Structure 1
Amino acid sequence: MKLDRQLWTFLLVVLHYRVTSQTSVITAEDGQYCTTDTGDHGLCVYQYQCLDGRIIYDGETLIDLRRAGDDCGEYILVCCNGEHSSENVPTTVVANETVTHEPSRGRDENATARPPVATTTESSVHESQERTSDKPEKPTNNGKTENTTVTPPAVSTQRTPIITGTSTTKRPLQPPPLNIPEYIEKGCGHRNPNGVVFSIENNVHSESEYGEYPWVAAIFVRDETTSQLQYRCGGALIDQAAVLTTASCLYLYRSKPSQLVVRLGEWDMSMQREPLPHVDSEAENVHIHPDYGVSSKVNDIAVVILRETMVLNHIIGVVCLPQKEQEVPNTDLIGAGWGDAPSFVIPKKYPQSILKKAHLKSISNGECQNKMRKLMSRRFQLHQSFICAEAIDTEMLPCRGDSGSPYVVEVSGGSDRYYLVGLSSWGYDCNRQNTPTVMTNVAYHRDWIDKVVKKENLNPWSYTYEPEENIEDE
């Protein structure tokens, strides 16, 4: 019986050691161990966090989308072994007992050696944004609590350490923290032209920067048998709980919104290790314009009400909407979507996994109608619920899968704020550069959008443009 107790005690000690030691190393969410091209042990980090095989903390935050993959699997990552080198750590002698001279949180000097305790870092964005801090809390003057860091002395103050030499030890690899600035909400329509966290190096294939258009939504259909998600179309976030898209995209699912899943914060659909997590929400309700024409696509617009309210951040934001019947300016329209790349794009890229962007030039409805009559029928009439645009030089046109993709123009005055003018609806042939793209006229439907939003107890203020100084005054 005594032996059994000793055995159980030993097993419990081993189990405790394994659990605590596992929390001190990098998990699959925090980082991934790998093997470098030279055969060394390493850690998968973002490209800009590694220079000449060593982990750095002040890189230029550039990534190359066409970099060949390595043991890390995804192009955005690289295997780096910079912190796996041995280090000399000073040792001390205290009362004939040798201990490692390292800071400790209230260490019991009479206890046996224990594995290091895990600390919370910024390396795991998934955890750091939602998990309660592991730091102790102390009361403040107003009775609330605040996070505080306890830093005990490196060595007990009751005994004077004597440094006798050095010992060689290896520290576990730790990924550098992501330098994500604090998010401050400043109204609708904010674009991130240089991306969030990193920028693309040598971007010549119309890929958008990571987080460049935070209002762009991806709408999926969940298979009723397998529950797998299949990409359906694009959309734009106009409220934390509402997405604007085309009726042609959602018409078949108007009576079964539970099959629809809306994703915000997506960038590359083929990648799992983006710095900030995307967010999925089931659709709670779908509003199709009552005068939508199934064959003509007249009034091709719909509002999806989300079951979850989105929390805004650097990669999830609301776009501004134009005023009622506001005219489309004779300027460039900037769009973004995951549709197929037209055949004239070189090199051919299919399927499109990274959010692509396109610059189109707006044209008058009269000019658009004349061009369409040459392609379709002399009697073709362009309805006023549409606007038109065409490609500039070799820029990418909306193509299959781009239905609902938002097209914006910059608010007069700059500051990288944008309002939505059109939703990609249809075209004659996206593989021909000289054919117009037809879009849903958002301004034309502003009254209907407001009506739906108010019916769902939401507020049109969320997508109404206001100068930042007015927002700050409030």
Structure 2
Amino acid sequence: MFKTFSCRVLVLLIAYQINISHAIGVIGGVKTTITDHPYVVSLQLANGTHVCGGALIKKNIVVTAAQCFVFQDPAQLYVRLGTDSYAADGELLSISSYIINENFDFTTMDSDVAVLKLAKNVAKSSAKREIKVAGEKPKTDRSGVVTGWSQSRQLEDVTVRIINAKKCRSGEYVYNKDDITDNMFCAQAYNRFVCDGEPGSPLVYKKKLIGLVSWGYGCGNVGNPAVYTNVNKLRKWIKKTIKKL
């Protein structure tokens, strides 16, 4: 049975969707393979419609963005693993339970993280293998890689540079001090015309998960940074929640 959650009722949803957006898929990334990123999963509907990205962190546990459950019936969501294309191949598993961070707020996007349990364990292989959650967030100007699916349904990488939180919320870009909470951080694609995928897409540094694509103002224009869930900041919550599933 699915575990439910409670969060603030979303107000002015239409206005929110107009102003805050992400690309429907990676745009301008570099083609890659699931063998290079065996932890990457696709949250999708039974008909194959891709909804969000995610990361396998244990043999039956996936971490993704909380927002992925807001507009979908969780009973209709599945996880596809072990494939270069979310539209075919790999293994499609149902979700036995999930928990959304109780502090998730869809108006601010704070604590945008959810943990879900798969209906069965995933056997390790070159295309199915978990990744560890980082113990700390990398320092400013370090480079990480976001992996997600392009509009052609293929896995692509986007290299991004981590931006100092104070600088990101200073107004130099499009964010102010109220936009970026301690549970978030910013990273900017080196190519200003690149977009880095859907919510839940994993950002990895030195083979450890440091962030999940969460939100951003605009995409593929004027080099705006994307905002990521800081999984290191929420690491204790993730570990505690896994025991409840």
Q: Which TM-score bucket, shorter chain as reference?
A: 0.7 to 0.9
Match of 2:178 in 1: 380
Query: What is the number of equivalent residue pairs in this alignment?
Result: 217
Distance 2:36 2:195 in 1: 19
Letter of the 1:328 partner, please give it.
P
Match of 2:201 in 1: 405
Match of 2:165 in 1: 365
Pair 367,379 (structure 1): closer, same or farther in 2 beyond 3 Å: closer
Cα drift, residue 268 of structure 1: 2.2
Please list, as runs of the form range in 1=range in 2, the aligned pairs for 1:228-307 lying within 5 A after superposition.
228-253=47-72, 256-269=73-86, 277-307=89-119
Distance 2:232 2:147 in 1: 19
Distance 2:44 2:192 in 1: 29
Letter of the 2:147 partner, please give it.
A
**Match 2:138 to one of 318, 328, 343:** 328
Cα drift, residue 394 of structure 1: 5.2
Pair 386,379 (structure 1): closer, same or farther in 2 beyond 3 Å: closer
Deviations 1:344-389 (A, max 9, x none): xxxxxxx2311111000001111110246x535x563410000110
**Match 1:208 to one of 5, 12, 32:** 32
Deviations 1:25-65 (A, max 9, x none): xxxxxxxxxxxxxxxxxxxxxxxxxxxxxxxxxxxxxxxxx
Match of 2:190 in 1: 392
Pair 299,258 (structure 1): closer, same or farther in 2 beyond 3 Å: same
Pair 209,327 (structure 1): closer, same or farther in 2 beyond 3 Å: closer
Letter of the 2:74 partner, please give it.
P
Instruction: Tell me the SS of whatever aligns to 2:243.
Output: helix
Instruction: Tell me the SS of whatever aligns to 1:375.
Output: coil
Instruction: Tell me the SS of whatever aligns to 2:97.
Output: strand
Distance 2:145 2:236 in 1: 24
Pair 434,371 (structure 1): closer, same or farther in 2 beyond 3 Å: farther
Q: Which runs of 5+ in 1 are unaligned?
A: 1-203, 223-227, 340-350, 411-417, 457-474
Distance 2:34 2:239 in 1: 30
Deviations 1:258-304 (A, max 9, x none): 2110011121245x5xxxx5111001112100000011110000011
Query: In the alignment, does 2:125 pair up with 1:313?
Result: yes
Query: In the alignment, does 2:224 pair up with 1:435?
Result: yes
Distance 1:433 1:267 in 2: 30
Ranked by relative contact order (alpha carbons within 8 Å, sequence separation 6 or more), the top structure is 2
Deviations 1:295-338 (A, max 9, x none): 11100000111112111100001011122xx2323310101011
Cα drift, residue 393 of structure 1: 3.3
Distance 1:403 1:205 in 2: 16
Distance 2:243 2:29 in 1: 41
Cα drift, residue 210 of structure 1: 4.6
Pair 329,358 (structure 1): closer, same or farther in 2 beyond 3 Å: same
Residues 192, 223 of structure 2: 8 Å contact kept = no
Larger Rg: 1
Distance 1:380 1:444 in 2: 18
TM-score between the two structures when normalised by the length of structure 2: 0.82
Residues 333, 360 of structure 1: 8 Å contact kept = yes
Letter of the 1:244 partner, please give it.
V
Cα drift, residue 428 of structure 1: 0.7
Distance 1:210 1:237 in 2: 12
Distance 1:392 1:310 in 2: 34
Deviations 1:57-116 (A, max 9, x none): xxxxxxxxxxxxxxxxxxxxxxxxxxxxxxxxxxxxxxxxxxxxxxxxxxxxxxxxxxxx
Match of 2:242 in 1: 453
Q: Which has the higher helix share?
A: 1
Cα drift, residue 229 of structure 1: 2.9
Pair 278,431 (structure 1): closer, same or farther in 2 beyond 3 Å: same
Match of 2:155 in 1: 355
Letter of the 2:242 partner, please give it.
V
Match of 1:221 in 2: 45
Instruction: Tell me the SS of whatever aligns to 2:224.
Output: coil
TM-score between the two structures when normalised by the length of structure 1: 0.44
Letter of the 2:217 partner, please give it.
Y
Distance 1:246 1:234 in 2: 8
CA RMSD, Structure 1 to Structure 2 (Å): 2.0
Distance 1:379 1:451 in 2: 30
Distance 2:58 2:131 in 1: 8
